Amino acid sequence: RVREFHPANIRFIQELGEGAFGKVYKGEIVGTGDEPLLVAIKTLKENASAKTTSDFRREVDLMCELRHENIVCLLGVCLSREPLSMLFEFMPKGDLHEFLITHSPHATEHPLNQSD
């Protein structure tokens, strides 16, 4: 199982985007006796349906089992209060999808429009 963090130990810094469950933030784990640790915080929307909440918790369970050098690491969770959160290692260059878009050989070309 992964470490459970108290909401007071999680500092939200900047919104990065939005996923299927809710918003994703750049943040820090603070007040644990260690130096603040930069993290990506994946949150569950407040007032999410029971099914969405169940899916979020299932993802937590799945991410706890995944340990691979090429998969972002789940460092902890906050499941005691809303917004329920998963805390991941922070990837300063963004996710793989964003990296591939910005670094593809055609990234600077203009996309075709329907008349082309």
Gap between the Cα atoms of 97 and 99, Å rounded: 5
23 Cβ contact partners less than 8 Å away, ≥ 6 residues apart: 15, 17, 43, 45
pTM above 0.85, yes or no: no
Alpha helices in 1-116 (DSSP H): 50-65, 96-103
C-beta separation of 55 from 21 below 8 A: yes
What range defines the domain where residue 45 resides? 3-103
Res 16 pLDDT > 80: yes
The 10s digit of each residue's pLDDT in 61-86 is 999 998 888 888 999 999 999 999 99
Is the residue at 109 inside a domain?
no
Is the residue at 112 inside a domain?
no
pLDDT at 111: 57
The annotation places the binding site for ATP at: 42
The annotation places the binding site at: 42
The 10s digit of each residue's pLDDT in 85-98 is 999 999 887 777 77
Is the residue at 64 inside a domain?
yes
Q: What is the number of structural domains in the chain?
A: 1
